Structure 1
Amino acid sequence: MTQNPAGTVLEVRELTKHYGGVRAVDGVSFSIAPGELLALIGPNGAGKSTCFNIVNGQLKPDSGTVRILGRDVTGVPSRRIAHLGVGRTFQVAAVFGSMTALENVQAALIAARGSVFGFWRPATTIARDEAMALLEQTGMAGEAERPAAALAYGDVKRLELAMALAGDPRLLLMDEPTAGMAAAKRGEMIALVQKLTRSRGLAVLFTEHSMDVVFGHADRVIVLARGRLIADGTVDEVRADPRVREVYLGGTAEAAR
């Protein structure tokens, strides 16, 4: 197995994906280190969803490579990538509405371990303490016994985050983690992700339309336009980049603030 360069968790090199004559992703390269929160942004049609879905295994690239912890996972299906130290959340939170918050996290722990249990041991007794610990970390311990369907939307997103952490991932992929949330709740959610990124040494790649979330919390930002990577830097560097202002942020420095 190829050694992991300088502790890099995710390394993407020269990804390309064509749809007919359109290059949805065109030679995109970037990497993420442990403890780093990286935002992937761009205007509609920029190729960010295609790029994100190649990384998470939903799409196969036409060329290029994706390495996670030094292992080439290019084209590996998402269900297998999930067992390689990768957690995932979705734009529309994926939880079991009829189950309690605690049961949802227990189910995620069981799935992550591939656990097998008999009829004499109900699933609700498995990994209860660990599930409660994850709910505590995401601020959801007080809602443990409530059905997911009865939770406020922001709490559902926190629950999904707890479930994504069940496999003790090294890399967390988050598709618009604050979508559908009010401004105050968006800030709380991404601050929680930032805290977990630091405390767990996670590498996090997230897509996001809300610029207050991106510029308020990301360690680094990469920007796509027409399938190509046009900027990769700190929040301040990306805000000041004239190409970013032109294609995404309204054409002025003020629009990037």
Structure 2
Amino acid sequence: MTLEVRDLHKSFGGVQAVSGVSLSVAAGELLALIGPNGAGKSTCFNMLNGQLRPDRGSVKLRGQEITGLAPRRIWRMGVGRTFQITATFGSMTVLENVQMALLSHARRLYDIWNPVSKQDPARAMALLDRVGMAGQAARPCGVLAYGDLKRVELAVALANDPSLLLMDEPTAGMAPAERVALMELAARIAREGGIAVLFTEHDMDVVFAHADRILVLDRGKPIAEGLPAEVRRDARVREVYLGTGATHGYS
């Protein structure tokens, strides 16, 4: 199993943001983590990626404990991440953004100012070709359409050859057709490369079309888990999320 999470807990003051969350994701599998606003999805992601330390619980990557490690260490162990709001360097080209990620993974960030480091962009171009952005390699990220930025961010996330990819609302802010195309691309890359994917998403068409399994949270607690068809039929899921919308609290 690529990712194994057991009994995660996190509170902020008197608010229990996450309580008793357990999950697992296998190589090549896409698990969707869904729930109303305030369900605890982003808190879970931040604990898995090292931005937050759990109050209790265990996170293992390929059998190795990574609970509470710094984000940079988790990145180097093979965990890629994309964000709800894209995180790219707007003044740098598409190619340079991917090169930055590759240099960071190789612990050679100091080389970014060395022209020698740019003489062989083949690996960066291969990643851009993989996400359909090779034709825009020379353009600054600051002038790209939002959907194209999402593809660049995916290429950056793939730069450390991850075994696990965390995607936090990957299609947020995109047009419907772009959402479908991006998730089809991510799913194909994951399954061809044996990459485990955990993603959050509010577009239920995207979730039910691409997730192999779904875990539903409400107020920090798991309320359902299973195949998409099973979750869609679950009466409690329909009551707290699919049918009536959002609750309130931490996200």
TM-score with structure 1 length normalisation?
Answer: 0.91
Q: How far 1:20 moved relative to its partner?
A: 2.5
Q: How far 1:65 moved relative to its partner?
A: 0.5
Q: Which has the higher contact order (CA 8 A, sep 6+)?
A: 2
Establish whether residue 195 from structure 1 lines up as the match of residue 188 from structure 2.
Answer: yes
Q: What residue is the counterpart of 1:173 in the other structure?
A: 166
Establish whether residue 123 from structure 1 lines up as the match of residue 131 from structure 2.
Answer: no
- The letter of the residue matching 1:131 is A
- Structure 2 distance, partners of 1:47, 1:212, is 21
- The letter of the residue matching 2:242 is L
Q: CA RMSD in A?
A: 1.6
Q: What residue is the counterpart of 1:153 in the other structure?
A: 146
Q: How far 1:120 moved relative to its partner?
A: 6.1
Q: Equivalent of 1:77, from 66, 70, 74?
A: 70
Question: Among the aligned pairs, what percent are the same residue?
Answer: 61
Gaps of 5+ in 2: 245-251
Q: How far 1:124 moved relative to its partner?
A: 2.2
Does the C-alpha gap of structure 1 residues 242 and 118 become closer, same or farther in structure 2, counting only changes over 3 Å? closer
- Structure 1 distance, partners of 2:47, 2:175, is 29
Q: What residue is the counterpart of 1:212 in the other structure?
A: 205
Establish whether residue 33 from structure 1 lines up as the match of residue 48 from structure 2.
Answer: no
- Structure 2 distance, partners of 1:181, 1:68, is 31
Structure 1, residues 151-195: CA drift from partner, whole Å, max 9, x if none?
Answer: 111001000100110110000011111110011100001110000
Number of residue equivalences: 244
Establish whether residue 234 from structure 1 lines up as the match of residue 227 from structure 2.
Answer: yes
Establish whether residue 94 from structure 1 lines up as the match of residue 105 from structure 2.
Answer: no
Structure 1, residues 187-236: CA drift from partner, whole Å, max 9, x if none?
Answer: 00111000001111000111111111101111111000111111111110
Does the C-alpha gap of structure 1 residues 118 and 180 become closer, same or farther in structure 2, counting only changes over 3 Å? closer
- Structure 1 distance, partners of 2:95, 2:174, is 22
Counterpart of 1:96 in 2: which secondary structure? coil
Counterpart of 1:95 in 2: which secondary structure? coil
Q: What residue is the counterpart of 1:18 in the other structure?
A: 11
Q: Equivalent of 2:41, from 27, 38, 48?
A: 48
- Structure 2 distance, partners of 1:44, 1:118, is 39
Q: What residue is the counterpart of 1:244 in the other structure?
A: 237
Q: Equivalent of 1:134, from 111, 122, 127?
A: 127
Q: Equivalent of 1:105, from 95, 98, 103?
A: 98
TM-score with structure 2 length normalisation?
Answer: 0.93
- The letter of the residue matching 1:147 is P
- Structure 2 distance, partners of 1:104, 1:120, is 15
Q: What residue is the counterpart of 2:249 in the other structure?
A: none
Gaps of 5+ in 1: 1-7, 252-257
Q: How far 1:147 moved relative to its partner?
A: 1.1
- Structure 2 distance, partners of 1:118, 1:165, is 19
- The letter of the residue matching 1:168 is D
